[in-house]
Amino acid sequence: MRTRMASFSTFAVVGVLILGGARAATAQQVVKLGEGETLTISGFIDATLFNSRGLFGFFGQGQNAEIAAAPANQPGVNQGIVDGDVRNTRLNFTFNAPPALGKWAPRATVEADFFGAFNGVPPYGDEQPQFRIRHAFVDLSNGRTTLRIGQFWAPFFNTDIPVSLSHIPFPVGLGSGGVVGWRFPGVFLYHDLTSTNPLKLQIQVAALKGAGPTTTGRDSTNNIGNGEASGVPQFETRLNLARKFTNVSWSGYVVYHIDWKDPNGTGVPGSNITDWGVESGHSIAAGSFTLHGNFYYGKGLGTQFANIHQFQPQIRGWGAWAQAGYDFTSHWSVWADYGMDQPDYARFNTETGGTLLRQLSHTGSALLRFRAGRYAAGLEYFRNVTRWNTGVASADQYALSALYTL
pLDDT for res 239: 97
pLDDT for res 7: 40
Over residues 22-69, the pLDDT tens digits come to 444 456 778 888 888 999 999 999 999 999 999 998 888 999 999 999
Over residues 210-252, the pLDDT tens digits come to 998 888 777 777 888 888 989 999 999 999 999 988 899 999 9
Identify whether 201 is part of a domain.
yes
Give mean pLDDT, residues 263-271: 82
CATH number at residue 281: 2.40.160.10
Identify whether 1 is part of a domain.
no
Strands 273-286 and 375-388: unpaired
- Residue 225 is classified by DSSP as B
Identify whether 2 is part of a domain.
no
Over residues 109-122, the pLDDT tens digits come to 999 999 988 766 77
pLDDT for res 27: 61
The model carries a pTM of 0.89
Share of the chain above pLDDT 90, in %: 72
Q: What residue numbers bound the domain in which 247 lies?
A: 7-405
DSSP 85-142: E-TT-EEEEEEE---SBTTBEEEEEEEEEEEE-----TTTGGG--EEEEEEEEEEEE-
Identify whether 235 is part of a domain.
yes
Nearest 5°: CA angle at 171, between 220 and 87?
Answer: 75
Q: What is the number of domains present in the chain?
A: 1
**Mean model confidence pLDDT for the chain:** 89
Identify whether 268 is part of a domain.
yes
Stated as kind and residue range, the H or E segment containing 221 is helix 217-221
**Closest listed residue to residue 343, CA positions, set 362, 317, 310, 361:** 317
pLDDT for res 98: 94
Over residues 122-157, the pLDDT tens digits come to 777 778 888 899 999 999 999 999 999 999 999 999
Check pLDDT > 70 for residue 15: no
Identify whether 256 is part of a domain.
yes
3-state secondary structure of 339: strand
* 405/101 Cα distance (integer angstroms): 35
Nearest 5°: CA angle at 310, between 307 and 315?
Answer: 60
| Cross-strand partners of 403 | 46, 376
Residue type, 93: F
* 113/280 Cα distance (integer angstroms): 28
Identify whether 257 is part of a domain.
yes
